[in-house]
A and B are shown apart, each in its own frame.
Chain A
Amino acid sequence: MKKLSVRRRHPLAALVVLLLALAATGGLYATLAPADEAQAEASAQSLAIEEGKKLYDVGCSSCHGSGGQGSSDGPSLTGVGAAAVDFQVGTGRMPLQQPGPQAEEKPVVYTQAEIDQLAAYVASLGPGPSVPNESAYDPSAGDAARGGELFRTNCSQCHNFTGQGGALTHGKEAPALDNVDPRYIYEAMVTGPASMPSFPNSTLPEEEKQDIIAWLHAVNTADSPSPGGLGLGGFGPVSEGLFAWTFGMGALIAVAVWIGARTAKARKS
């Protein structure tokens, strides 16, 4: 203590206290203030955007333009949002294999991490729908009955009663929805890929989207119950009629041939 008491009147003492105080404030600020964290995340984000841009330049820019502005071969990506990228690339529709009526589903070529980077880059081009949280598309939280009504009002005219898919003009189609990851169903509703109209939250609120996903989960997944037996594709009377003509009538004619060949006379000889 003697040392301290001797030096506390030192002309530089005030300066030392000031430095200590500044260091403490700065240290506290550095540890407690959120600004720094944001900066760190921003740098991670900018890293993702940067990586995404690299992937984009290689895989997408030939059609969508070097800055996502679009070209004669592909639409502009400004404002389509991360959800559109996650849907199109995550289901294998993009990158396109060849021009045609509609992007076909193919094996996915990017990892989920790469897809997220691409999504980050495209999202940076303009504000758009982002990838939904898992809670938004959890089928168990939706009301299937209500979802069924919404589905029949908004979706079944193209996708069929239970989402078995349907034909559109000139080779385009509304794809089958069996066993599609609920996340992609949700993203499709938000972004409206290909010929599909988009259903933003202002027209179809989040919980109604969840109801629709719950309906599809109840009637069109590998583990949905099928009380009547084989589903015959769920296409309705066309496949039923085909079945009746082939298997039904085929079996009955086989039986008729058998009975017809079995006469009393034939047994005697």
Chain B
Amino acid sequence: MSTATKDPKTRGKAPAGEKIADWADGRVGLYSLAKANMRKIFPDHWSFLLGEICLYSFIILILTGVYLTMFFVPSMAEVEYHGSYVPMQGVMMTEAYASTLDISFDVRGGLLVRQIHHWAALIFVVGIMFHMMRVFFTGSFRKPREINWLFGWTLFILAVFTGLTGYSLPDDLLSGTGIRFMEGAILSMPVVGTYIQMFLFGGEFPGHDIIPRFFVIHVLLLPGIMLGLVAAHLILIIYHKHTHFAGPGRTNDNVVGMPFLPIYMAKAGGFFFLVFGVIAAIAATATINPVWVLGPYRPDQVSTNAQPDWYLGFSEGLVRMMPGWEWVIPGGYTLNFGLMIPLAVFPGVLVLIGLYPFFESWLTRDNREHHIAQRPRNAPTRTGLGVAWLVAYGVALVAGGNDVWAVNFNLSINAITWVCRIGFFVFPVVAFVITRRICLGLQRRDREKVLHGRETGVIKRLPHGEFVEVHEPLPREALYTLTAHDQDRPAELGPETDENGVRRKVSPLERLRVKISRGYFGEQAQIPKPTSEEYREITSGHGHH
């Protein structure tokens, strides 16, 4: 090998790997690409892997989806079933449903792949929610990551709609009821509802177009957009570099962790197979959407326990909570508030989530870059708002399954609905107050620990008879970790008058901003973190208790 470096003539004898790399570098610029990215650092923390769960379940969804596409027939033409599932033999059904039964019973590995696909879809969206929660509660959406928050948020919405269209494809009684629900939702839109319904279904419900159209949307349109967004999401992560939690040596200007190659490549690769393994194990042992017992969709049939997959349970719950109000306005037009209001709340909430980073940057006027993930306790109002939203979401999910809870816990469905109606407004407020107080309590605890050290549980008796507990000062690293965060100051309105004594004009928006900012960062909303002066004064010798 040493001769190779000495003598330029022996370059042709380079190993095959180097030759291939050279070839590729001459054509795609591999070396600079690899140099820039191979040593990319990723910090270690379990919560930073939640996004990877989403990525891997997305890959699993694409792989299994391709397999299912080979056998699924997206057609609403009617056929008589003659496959191997006896309790459906002789029943008239669409080709879509018949081919789903064939995938389940007559295609090798079909049922397992179908179940992996469906379980992976549920877990994909659960993963997205957990990932979003992580980003939200640690403030990782702050500058420069607002755009990436929007990419992720769009992916979340697209994932829900890809799920909805996929859930509808088998054309079984459950999914058909879901499509019927969706049709009702579209029809409840004033003015344009009927037009959109006719356009989407190609005529009256159910028609013959909806399954083929959903098929194209489900296998081509939405996954195509999502794939592009996933790529953009990942490129931005590499561009911004990953956030990390504060600690000794971990600052806003660096990232401490392991390099992408070889460590993270191995970890991520292993994690992919673990995710695949967990999902495959679930799919191999637990039934999901047993279409064979649900029967083919017929508009004259319906079953109880007809719910959408969980990620649309929120909208289902909103509809189930809403009283069925309806007005007929002059001219004979019906306004169905029972559907209209919940289905306006649903996108409204989504928009609020998408815009939150911009709201917070408007509020703080903070133009710095943030690469340190905050601890949720250090942003009590944001954490409180997040938990309040989760509680409202949970209440709507419970309302969406009110019949299942009623049967299994021997409750009255009316009572559950009323608890949810009131709880949807009351519980989030309670949760906000409690969460903020818990955060403040934890901040006090941190302050206490920094200034007085850890309680050792050792009781000492002093010469004059007093009993004290021995506190052990925290190590320097821990002190740094607990005090590394910034604390935002509440915004000030400024002097009432300018230097000439003329009343300053302050826009109402600015007044509002100052008001909200006080609520977020005022005295009652955070505990001042200990300063080094305080620390020195307390630890300078004379006995703290």
Contacts and interface: CB of A to CB of B under 8 A. Distances in A.
A168 B173 CA distance: 20
B463 interface: no
Given A144-B87, A156-B303, A157-B303, A167 B46 contact: no
B507 to A, nearest CB: 45
B290 A241 contact: no
B44 interface: yes
A162 B289 CA distance: 13
Residue of B105, B123, B310, B313 most packed against chain A (CB within 10 A): B310
Contacts of B47: 256, 260
Contacts of A233: 408
A174 interface: yes
A207 interface: no
> Among B105, B301, B302, B304, which residue has the most Cβ atoms of chain A within 10 A?
B304
A255 B57 CA distance: 14
Interface in B287-346: 287-290, 292-295, 298, 300-311, 313
A248 B282 contact: yes
Contact of A167 (B50, B288, B301, B304): B304
A251 B288 contact: no
Contacts of A252: 53, 123, 127, 275, 278
Contacts of A235: 305, 404, 408
Contacts of A245: 126, 310
B284 A229 contact: yes
Contacts of A228: 111, 115, 286-288, 290
B413 A167 contact: yes
B500 interface: no
Interface stretch (A107-115, A145-153, A195-203): A145-153
Contacts of B275: 252, 255
Contacts, number: 206
Given A238-B404, A244-B119, A260 B44 contact: yes
Contact of B313 (A165, A229, A238, A255): A238
B151 interface: no
Interface in B256-301: 258, 263, 267, 270-271, 274-275, 278-279, 282, 284-290, 292-295, 298, 300-301
Given A167-B413, A238-B305, A245-B310, A227 B88 contact: no
Interface string A218-242: 1100000011111111111111111
A260 B288 contact: no
Contacts of A261: 46
B104 interface: yes
B271 A255 contact: yes
Nearest to A228: B287
A38 interface: no
B431 to A, nearest CB: 18
Interface in B120-140: 122-123, 126-127, 130
Interface in A138-192: 144-146, 148-149, 152-153, 156-162, 164-171, 173-174, 176
B307 A149 contact: no
A98 interface: no
State the main secondary structure of chain A at its contact with B: helix
Interface string B80-95: 0000001111110000
A262 B274 CA distance: 14
A228 B115 CA distance: 8
A99 to B, nearest CB: 15
B540 interface: no
Given A160-B304, A228-B287, A241-B310, A260 B45 contact: yes
Nearest to A143: B90
B288 A240 contact: yes
A256 B50 contact: yes
A24 interface: no
Interface of B is mostly: helix
A231 B286 CA distance: 6
B421 to A, nearest CB: 16
B274 A166 contact: no
B411 interface: yes
A241 B274 contact: no
Contacts of A161: 173-174, 293-295, 303, 305
A168 B407 CA distance: 9
A256 B44 CA distance: 11
B417 to A, nearest CB: 10
Nearest to A240: B288
B49 interface: yes
Nearest to B397: A241
B87 A240 contact: no
B171 interface: no
A230 B86 contact: no
A255 B274 contact: yes
A168 B303 CA distance: 13
A260 B48 contact: yes
**Residue among B45, B123, B290, B415 with the highest chain A CB neighbour number at 10 A:** B290
Contacts of B284: 229
B414 interface: yes
A152 B115 contact: no
Contact of B407 (A101, A149, A153, A166): A166
B402 interface: yes
A148 B295 contact: yes
B412 interface: yes
Q: Looking at B122, B305, B403, B410, which has the most chain A CB atoms within 10 Å of its CB?
A: B305
Given A253-B50, A259-B271, 17 more contacts: A101-B412, A144-B87, A148-B91, A149-B295, A153-B300, A160-B303, A161-B293, A162-B293, A169-B412, A170-B413, A237-B308, A241-B309, A251-B278, A253-B130, A255-B274, A256-B49, A260-B47
Question: Which 8 residue pairs across A and B have the least CB separation, nearest first?
Answer: A241-B310, A228-B287, A166-B304, A260-B46, A167-B406, A171-B412, A244-B122, A156-B303
Interface of B: 44-50, 52-53, 86-91, 104-105, 111, 115, 119, 122-123, 126-127, 130, 173-174, 258, 263, 267, 270-271, 274-275, 278-279, 282, 284-290, 292-295, 298, 300-311, 313, 397, 400-404, 406-408, 410-415
Interface of A: 101, 144-146, 148-149, 152-153, 156-162, 164-171, 173-174, 176, 215, 218-219, 226-245, 247-249, 251-253, 255-257, 259-265
